[in-house]
Amino acid sequence: MAKIYDGISDELAAWMVEQPVFFVGSAPLAADGHVNVSPKGMAGTFAVVDERTVAYLDYSGSGAETIAHLRENGRVVLMFCAFSGRPTIVRLHGRGRVVLAGDPGFAEVRALFPKEREVGQRSVVVVDVDRVADACGFAVPLMDFRGDRDVLDASQSRRDDAHFEEYWRTRNAESIDGLPAVTLPPRG
């Protein structure tokens, strides 16, 4: 049976930080827009700020759907699944905001994360949580975690700042539905 919590307890916060992967869901307002679910992971890229606020470090990727959806309407859900131990699913519903690399306040929110590698960081997503709920997770499979993949870090460490700026301008400027996503100041 699902349980609704008043906020994120210390015990729940520790459990979420331990999970090697979580999923982020968002959607545009348009009825014909595409719903998006993105897997997130890598140790040190998720933080519980307080009992009603969480954040995750967002690296450059092929799409910018979550950023576009948050800019349009702010709605977001994060889902954590226990792949070992007691079967549990936890969902954090709330309103998200994006702090892009280079925005005022980015350094402050970036300091929340123990992950040291900074190459390729696109933003920090901060979520003001208004609903914390768990569910049984009885159908979630048991799996053994072997480790974080190093592919993203290795790939992005071969790039320089100019590469990422061009990538954000050309590949992350809007969502697949044409909503504005990563916005950079004009060149020059």
pTM of the full structure = 0.94
Q: Which amino acid is at 165?
A: E
Structure-token match 């499979």, residue found? 141
Angle at the Cα of 86 from the Cα atoms of 54 and 142, rounded to 5 degrees: 95
Mean pLDDT (whole number) for 129-154 = 91
Write down the domain spans for the chain.
3-140+147-171
Q: What's the pLDDT band for 161 if we cut at 50, 70, 90?
A: confident
Distance CA 153, CA 70 (A): 25
Q: What's the pLDDT band for 61 if we cut at 50, 70, 90?
A: confident
Class in CATH terms, 3-140+147-171: mainly beta
The 3-state DSSP class for residue 103 equals: coil
pLDDT attached to residue 1: 63
pLDDT attached to residue 33: 97
**151: part of which helix (H) or strand (E)?**
helix 151-157
